Amino acid sequence: MKKIFLFLSVLLASSRLLFAQNEGVVYDERTLNSEVLRGERKYGIYLPPDYNSSERNYPVLYLLHPAGPKGTVPNQQGWINYGNLKHYMDNAIKEGKIVPMIVVTPDANFGNRHISYFNDPDNNFNFEDFFFQEFIPYIEKTYRCRTEKGSRAIAGASMGGGAAFFYALHQPEMFVASCPLSAAIRGYEKDYIKSRYPNITEKELMEWYKPYNVYELFKQLPEEKKQTVSWYISCGDDDALSPNNVLLHADLKKMEIPHEFRMQNGKHDWRYWRSVLPEVLQFVSTHFCK
C-alpha cells in the first residue's frame, strides 16, 4: 500500500512539473527607479514557459494599458488581470501559433486615475522620455531580450493605443510592428491635456499637440519609412472612437501606407480587447525575426 501511495505521489509531482513547464510566469508588481519620473515605477512582465530552462534571448512585446474603463484599475496589471494575458500567451505558444516571447506592461498611472504616455506640457511627467531612455534599456538589460528592431513590437488599448501609434511614429527604428486597439487619436489627446491643464493657452496647446497628431505624423513620414513598421489597427463598431479610427484607415489608404485594419463587433471595453488579443499576438509573432 505504501509503495502504491509513493508511486502515485511521484506521478502527481511529475504531472505538476510537466504542467508547470508548459506555462509562462507572470510578475505583476516589479519595480525600477526612474530619474526622469523622479521615483519608483511599476511594471508587469510575462516570461515564456522555457525562459528559466533555456539560455535563449526572446523578442519583446510592450503592451500598454488603457485609462479605463470605469470600474477597472488603469495600471500595469490591466492586461494581466482584465486581459487574461497569461492564458492567451500560454495557449498560443503551446499550440504553435506564436513564437515564445516576453510581454512587458508598464504602468503609466501617476495618481488620481490620470494616465499619460505623453511628455506633459509642464514636464512634470515625461513618460515618453522615461519609456525610451530608461524603461526599454532597463528591460533589455534585466531580461534575456533580443534587442534588434525586428524583435521589438508595441501594442496598446485606448490611450495605450494612441501611444502605440505615436511611439512607433516617433521612433520607427525601434519597432517592427505596432498594434493600436481602440486608439484615442484625432484630438482626444488635446482634450485630455486641456482638462488637466485648464490654464494652458491655445497656442501652447497646439505646440504641445504637434508631436502627438497621429495623422500629421503619418503625412510627414518620408517615403523610405512608410513600410518600416507593420501596422495592425482594430476598433469595435460600437466604440465611440470608431469614427476616428475609420477616418485614419481611409487616410492611410490614400497615403498608400500598408496596414491591417479590423472593425469587429464590440465596445470600448476589456471584452473587446480580450477578443482581439490573440490576433495581435499572432500578428507581431509573424513579423518578429525568426
Residue 5, in any domain of the structure:
no
**Residues 75-110: tens digit of each pLDDT:** 999 999 999 999 999 999 999 999 999 999 999 988
* Residue in the structure block whose three cell numbers are 510592450: 62
> Which domain, by its residues, includes 181?
25-287
Domain membership flag for residue 11: no
pLDDT in tens, 101-136: 999 999 998 876 567 898 988 888 899 999 999 999
In this structure, which amino acid lies at residue 242? S
In the chain, what percentage of residues exceed pLDDT 70?
Answer: 91
Model pTM?
Answer: 0.91
Reading the block at residue 105, the C-alpha cell is 506592461
Domain assignment of residue 8, yes or no: no
φ/ψ of 207, rounded to 5, equals -65, -40
**Burial per residue of 117-126, b for 16 or more beta-carbon CB atoms within 10 angstroms, e otherwise:** bbbbbeeebb
CA dist., res. 124 & res. 204, Å (int): 16
Classified as helix, coil or strand, 45 is: strand
Residue 204: inside a domain, yes or no? yes
Q: Per the domain annotation, does 19 fall within a domain?
A: no
Q: Give the model's pLDDT for residue 188.
A: 67
Per the structure, the count of domains in the chain is 1
- CATH code at position 229: 3.40.50.1820
Classify residue 16: in a domain, yes or no.
Answer: no
Whether residue 3 lies inside any domain: the answer is: no
Largest CA distance in the chain: 83
Return the closest-CA partner of residue 67 out of 130, 114, 128: 114
Decide: 32 and 68 in contact? Cβ < 8 Å: no
Q: Is 139 inside a domain boundary?
A: yes
Inter-residue contact 281 to 91 (CB < 8 Å): no
